[in-house]
Chains A and B, each alone.
Chain A
Amino acid sequence: MNVLRRLAPILAPLLALLIAAVVGDALILTFGQSPAAVYRLLVDGTLGNAYGIGQVIYKATTLACTGMAVALGLRAGLFNIGAEGQLAMGGFAAAVVGLLLPVGTPALLAVPVCLAGAALGGAAVGAVPGVLKARFGAHEVIVTIMLNFIVLAFLNWIVATRLHVPEQLHTPDIRAGAIGRLAGAFPAFHGSAANWTILVALAAAGFMAWHLFRTRQGYELRAVGLQPAAAESGGVHVGRVWLRTMTLAGAIAGLGGTNFVLGYKQYYEEGFAAGAGFIGIAVALVGRNHPVGVLLASLLFAVLSQGGLAVNAVVPKQMVDVLTAVVIIAVAVTVPEMQRLVRGAHGANR
C-alpha cells in the first residue's frame, strides 16, 4: 500500500507510455514489420552507440529547458504554451550578445555573458503574459500562443532585414561565447551535436528543485498553483507570483536556446526551435512538473525524436512522430494535473 502510494506519481506517465507502446505495435504491424525488430532498431540507433547517445543528449538538453519552463508555470497554475517563443528569443539574444562581444573574449567571460543574454531574452518574452495576467487578468494560454507568433515573426523579420548572411536564413557566426562539444573531452561523441550546455540544463533543474521546495518563494508559488484563494489569504500577492514565475520560466526556456546557438551552430537560425517549446508541454506533463521527472522525460522524447531517423529504413520516420503524439494524448488523459487544468478552465468560464 505504502509502496503503491510512493509510486503513484509515476504510474500515470507509465500508463501513458504503455498505451503509446501498444498503439506503436499496431502501427508497425500495419507496415508489415515486426514491432520487436523496429523497437530494437530504435534503441540501437539512439542508445546503442556513442553518436546516438550524443544526439539524444543534445536534443534532451533543449527539451529539458522548455519542459522546465512549462513545468514551473504549471506549478503556479499557469499553462505556459509560450516556451517556443521564449526559446527562440533566448537563442537569438545569445547570438546577438555573441556577435557584439569582441573576437577573442575569454570563454570564461563570454559564455556567462551570452547565457545571461539568453536568460534575459527568454525572461522578457515570459514576463509579457505574466504582466498581462497580473494586471488585466488576460488568460496566459491565449497570450502565450499569440506571443509565439509575434516573437517568431519578429525574429524572422529582424534576421532577414538586418542580420542574415547572404542567401542564408541565419545570422553570421558569433565572435565569442561558443560552448564546446562533448566530443572535445570524449572523442567517442565525435560528430554528434552534444555539448556542455547539458550542464546548464542540469544546473537549471537543480535550481528549480531548490527554488520550488526549499525557498519561501517556492512555497508561495506552489500554494498559488494549488489554491490561489488560500495563498491570497496567506498574504501572498498572487499577481506578483504569476509575473515572477512566468519571467523565471521564460529565462529557463531562453537558456535552452543556447544549446543550438552557442553549443552547436554558433549562429542563430530561423526556425531552430522546431517545436521543442511545444514538446516541452509533453515533457512537463510526463515529468509530473518535477525537475527530476522533467529531465527523465526529456531523455524519453529525445530518444523518440532521434529514433525516427534510426528506424527510417524499415518504417516511415513519421511513425515516430505519431508515437510522440500518442504519448502526448495519452498523457493528457491520464495525468491528474492535465485533468485539473481542463476542469479549472471550465470552472473559470462559469
Chain B
Amino acid sequence: MTDSALEAIHIVKRFGSVEANRDANLSVGAGEIHAVVGENGAGKSTLMRVLAGLFVPDAGTVRVHGRNVTGWDTRRAIAAGVGMVHQHFMLVPTLTVAENLVLGQEPTRGVRLDLAAASESVNSLCARTGLRVDPSRRVDALSVGEAQRVEILKVLYRGARILILDEPTAVLSPPEVRELWTVLRTLKARGDTVVVITHKLDEVAEISDAVTVMRAGETVGCLRTQDATPAAIARMMVGRDVVLAGDLVRHGDHAPGAAVPDVARRVALEVTDLVVARPRQRPAVDGVSLVVREGEIVGIAGVEGNGQTELIEALAGLRPTEAGSVRLNGREIVAFDVRARADVGISHIPEDRQRRGLVLEYSIADNLILGLQHRFAHRGVMQRDRVRRNADRQIEAFDIRPPRPDVPARALSGGNQQKIVVAREMGRDFSVLLAAQPTRGVDVGAIEFIHARLRAARDGGRAILLVSADLVEVLALADRVAVMYEGRIVVTLPRAQASAEVLGPYMTGAQRGAKLS
C-alpha cells in the first residue's frame, strides 16, 4: 500500500449537543481515488470540512503526508495542497470562467487587472489537466457539469494536489457523471489524490480504489474497492441487510402491472398542453401533455432544471399556468387552488421538504396535518385530540422516529422528516400522488421504506407521477418513463425499453423524440 497522503485519526466534532463525528478515521493513500460513503447525517461532510480546514475538530489528529496539521485553517490547507470542491457551487455567475478562477489572487499590471495573463494561466492549467472549459465564457452560461469543472479547476489553480469532492454527482446527468470520472482519472494519472463523498454505491465501484464507510459519526470500515460488493457496503452503512433499488433493476424483479393492458386502466390524471411561464425567458413548462393511469407509476427523468419542478408545482396548484388543461378523473381542475386540488384527491410530496414540505419548528403532530388543517378544525377551532390521535396513528404506520408527536420536525433526521411528509400525503385518501424527489438526501433504509410504500400505493390502484433526478430510482419504480428536457417531454417509453443508455441522450438534448424533430 502506498503511504498516506491524508489521514484523519479519531476525529471528534460536536455542534452543541450533537456529535457529528465521534470517532471518524480516514486514511487516503497518495495517488488514489478514495470514496467515502454513508447515510445522511453519518458525518461525511463534517469530516471533509475538518480535513479541508473549515472546521476545527474537538479531538483527534489530521495529518498530511505524515505531518500533523490538526486545527489548520483553509488558507494553510490550500498552501499545503488540500482543496475542497463543495456540493453547492461557489462561483460568481456574472464573471467569466477566467475571472472566477483567479478571484482572490488576480494577476495585475500596475493596479489594473491583467485579464490576458489570467486567461493565459487558465489555458495552461486546462491543457495540463485535460479539463476543457472556455475561460472567456460567463459562468451563468455554463451547464451544471461545466460549472463543476470550473470549481475543480479553481481548486487546482490554487495548487491543490489533494482534492476533496462533496457529493459531486448529485447534480449531474449520467453523461456528465461519466465526464467527471474521466476528469478524476486524469488527475489520478498525474499523481493527484482524490477523496469523493457519494451516496451511490454503483459510483463507488465505478471510480474508487478504496472506500471508507461511515455510520453515525464513526468510521465502520475501510475496504479496497475490488474486495467490496455493493451489498456488503450497504450493510455496513445501515448495519443491516437492505434491498437495493439497483438490484431490482438488475435482477428483473420489477414486474409492474403487465397483466392488465395499459388501455384497460382508467386515466386518473390527464395533462394537456400545459404551459408555465417564466419572466423574460422561454416557458419553464412548454406544452407538456401526459397521462397517468390508475395503478401505474409514470417516472419523469431528466437533468434538474428542465421544468420538472415547475411542472409538479403547477399540477399541485402552487404555480399559475399560462395555458393547458389538467384533468383529474375526467374533471377539469386547472383553476383550482392548492386546497381544492388536495380535496379532490391530489397528494404532493414536494421536492424540498425543508422549504415546502414541513414547518420545521412545528411538532411532528402539527406537520402531519399541514394542508389538512381545515379537516381538523371545527368552526375554526383546532380539534387537538384528533390531531394527536392522527399523529399517533401515522407515527406508528410510518415508523417515524422518535415516536413522539410533540418533538419539532427540525430535531428529526432527514429520513424521518421525509417520512412525515410521506405519511401525510400517502396516509390519506388520494387518487393521484405527485412525488418529487421522494427520497432525495434520505438514508438507504428510508429509501427502501418509501419505495415500498410507493409500490404498494400503485398496486392499490393509485396513480403516481414520480420526478427524480436519480435515474436508478426512476428505473426502479416507474412503469413508464418520460424524459423532460427544456420544458418539454422529449420521449416516453415503457419501462422495458428504458435504460440509462437509451435515456441519456434525451436527457442532455443530444436526441429529441420523433414527434418533435
Chain A interface residue number, banded: 10 to 19
Instruction: Tell me the bound Cα distance from A81 to B318 in angstroms.
Output: 30
- Chain B residues whose C-beta falls within 8 Å of the C-beta of A220 in the assembled complex: 373
Stretch at the interface among B133-141, B200-208, B349-357: B349-357
Whether A219 and B356, one on each chain, are in contact in the complex, defined by CB atoms closer than 8 angstroms, is no
Partner of A231 from the list B316, B350, B359 (CB cut-off 8 Å) is: B359
A229 within 8 A of B: yes
B373 touches A233 (CB 8 A): no
Residue contact A235 to B371, C-beta cutoff 8 Å: yes
Instruction: Tell me whether B357 and A223 are in contact (CB under 8 A).
Output: no
Majority-rule SS of A interface residues = helix
Within 8 A of B (CB), among A213-240: 214-217, 219-220, 222-223, 226-227, 229-235, 237
- Taking a contact as CB atoms under 8 Å apart, the answer to whether A233 and B356 are in contact is yes
Q: Say yes or no: is B132 at the interface (Cβ < 8 Å to chain A).
A: no
Which residues of chain A (172-193) have a CB below 8 Å from chain B? none
Smallest beta-carbon distance A235→chain B, Å: 3
Question: Among residues 356 to 372 in chain B, which have CB atoms less than 8 Å away from a CB atom of chain A?
Answer: 356-362, 366, 370-371
Within 8 Å by CB of A233, from B318, B361, B366, lies B318
Cβ A232 vs Cβ B318 within 8 A: yes
Residues of A contacting B377 in the complex (Cβ-Cβ under 8 angstroms): 215-216, 219
**B355, A217: Cβ atoms under 8 Å?**
no
Say how far A145's CB is from chain B's closest CB, in angstroms. 28
Chain A residues near B339: list those with CB within 8 A: 235
**Separation in Å of the B35 CB from the closest CB of chain A?**
34
Residues of the B chain whose Cβ atoms lie less than 8 Å from the Cβ of A214: 381-382, 384
- Chain A, Cβ-Cβ closest to B371: A234
Which chain A positions have C-beta within 8 A of B366?
Answer: 219
Bound Cα distance A223, B370 (Å): 9
B311 within 8 A of A: no
What is the CA–CA distance of A235 and B361 in the complex, to the nearest angstrom? 18
Interface string of B303-343 (1 = CB under 8 A from A): 00000000000001010000000000000000001110010
Q: Which residues of B contact A217 (CB under 8 A)?
A: 380
Please tell me if the beta carbons of A226 and B371 are within 8 angstroms of each other in the complex: no
User: Which residues of B have CB within 8 Å of A232?
Assistant: 318, 338, 356
> Judging by beta carbons under 8 Å apart, are A226 and B337 in contact?
no
Residues of B370-426 contacting chain A, CB below 8 A: 370-371, 373-374, 376-377, 380-382, 384
* B293 interface residue per 8 A CB criterion: no
**Does A233 contact B381, Cβ atoms closer than 8 Å?**
no
A230 vs B380: C-alpha distance when bound (angstroms): 20
**Which of B348, B359, B376, B380 is the one whose CB lies under 8 Å from A227?**
B359
Contact, CB under 8 Å: A233 / B359: no
Contact assessment for A233 and B316 in the assembled complex, using a CB-CB cutoff below 8 Å:
yes
State the CA gap A233–B346 with chains docked (Å): 12
Closest CB-CB distance, A237 to chain B, in whole Å?
7
Quick check: B318 and A230 within 8 Å, CB to CB?
Answer: no
Tell me whether B370 and A234 are in contact (CB under 8 A). yes
- How far, in Å, is B339 (CB) from chain A's closest CB? 3
The chain A residue with its CB closest to the CB of B357 is A230
Contact of A237 among B337, B350, B355, B362 (CB under 8 A): B337
Minimum CB–CB distance from B418 to chain A (whole Å) comes to 14
Specify the chain A residue showing the minimal Cβ separation from B367.
A230
* A226–B359 CB distance below 8 A: yes
Cα distance, A214 to B366, chains bound together (Å): 12
A30 to chain B, nearest CB (A): 39
A234 to B341, CA, bound (A): 11
For the complex, give the distance between the alpha carbons of A206 and B225 in Å.
65
Report the bound CA distance from A230 to B348 in whole Å. Answer: 12
Select one of B350, B362, B382 contacting A215, CB under 8 A.
Answer: B382
Q: Which residues of B contact A222 (CB under 8 A)?
A: 359, 362
**Does the CB pair A216–B337 fall under 8 Å?**
no
Given the known A-B contacts A216-B377, A235-B371, are A226 and B356 also in contact in the complex, defined by CB atoms under 8 Å?
A: no
Report the minimal beta-carbon distance from B423 to chain A, rounded to whole angstroms. 14
A252 to B149, CA, bound (A): 57
| Alpha-carbon separation in the docked complex, A233 to B359 (Å) | 11
What chain B residues lie within 8 Å of A216 (beta carbons)? 373-374, 376-377, 380-382
A-facing mask of B115-158, CB < 8 A → 1, else 0?
00000000000000000000000000000000000000000000
Which chain A residues lie closer than 8 Å to B381 at the CB level?
A: 214-216
Q: Is the CB of B337 within 8 A of A230?
A: no
Distance in Å: Cβ of A137 to nearest Cβ of chain B: 13
B358 surroundings in chain A (CB, below 8 A): 227, 230
CB-defined contacts of A215 to chain B, threshold 8 Å: 377, 380-382
Complex alpha-carbon distance, A202 and B365, angstroms: 30
Measured in the bound complex, the distance between the Cα atoms of B360 and A216 in whole Å is 18
B316 CB contacts on chain A under 8 angstroms = 233
Partner of B337, one of A223, A231, A235: A235
Question: Smallest CB-CB separation from A231: which chain B residue?
Answer: B359
- Complex contacts, B360 vs chain A, CB 8 Å: 226-227
CA distance A237 to B373 in the complex (A): 13
Nearest CB in chain A to that of B360: its residue? A227
Cβ–Cβ < 8 Å partners of B380 in chain A = 215-217
Are B382 and A219 in touch, CB under 8 angstroms? yes
B362 pairs with A223, CB closer than 8 A: yes
Q: Hey, what's the 0/1 contact readout for B451-487 against A, CB within 8 Å counting as 1?
A: 0000000000000000000000000000000000000
Report how far A206 CA is from B370 CA in the complex, Å: 25
Whether B355 and A229, one on each chain, are in contact in the complex, defined by CB atoms closer than 8 angstroms, is: yes
Q: Which chain B residues lie closer than 8 Å to A233 at the CB level?
A: 316, 318, 338, 348, 350, 356-357, 371
C-alpha spacing A232/B342, complex, angstroms: 12
Interface contact A223-B382, CB-CB below 8 Å = no
Which of B348, B359, B360, B374 has its CB near the most chain A CB atoms (within 10 A)?
A: B359
Within the complex, which residue of B342, B356, B373, B376 is in contact with A230, where a contact is CB–CB below 8 Å?
B356
Which residues of B sit under 8 angstroms from A237, Cβ to Cβ? Answer: 337
Q: Mark A28-64, 1 if CB is under 8 A from B, else 0.
A: 0000000000000000000000000000000000000
Give the one of B316, B370, B371 with max A CB within 10 A.
B370
A226 and B362 CA atoms in complex are apart in Å by 9
Closest CB of chain A to B219's CB: distance in Å? 29
Contact of A230 with B382 in the complex, beta carbons under 8 Å:
no
User: In the complex where A215-B377, A220-B373 touch, is A230 in contact with B338 (Cβ < 8 A)?
Assistant: no
Other A-B pairs beyond A216-B377, A229-B355, A235-B371, 16, CB < 8 Å: A214-B381, A215-B380, A216-B376, A222-B362, A223-B359, A223-B370, A229-B352, A230-B355, A230-B356, A230-B359, A233-B348, A233-B371, A234-B370, A234-B373, A235-B374, A237-B337
- Show the binding face of A for B, using Cβ within 8 Å: 214-217, 219-220, 222-223, 226-227, 229-235, 237
| Chain B contact residues, CB within 8 Å of chain A | 316, 318, 337-339, 342, 348, 350, 352, 355-362, 366, 370-371, 373-374, 376-377, 380-382, 384
Enumerate 8 A-B pairs (CB-CB under 8 Å) in ascending A order.
A215-B381, A215-B382, A216-B373, A216-B380, A219-B373, A222-B359, A230-B356, A235-B371
| Pairs A-B, 6 closest by C-beta atoms | A235-B339, A216-B377, A234-B371, A234-B370, A235-B338, A227-B359
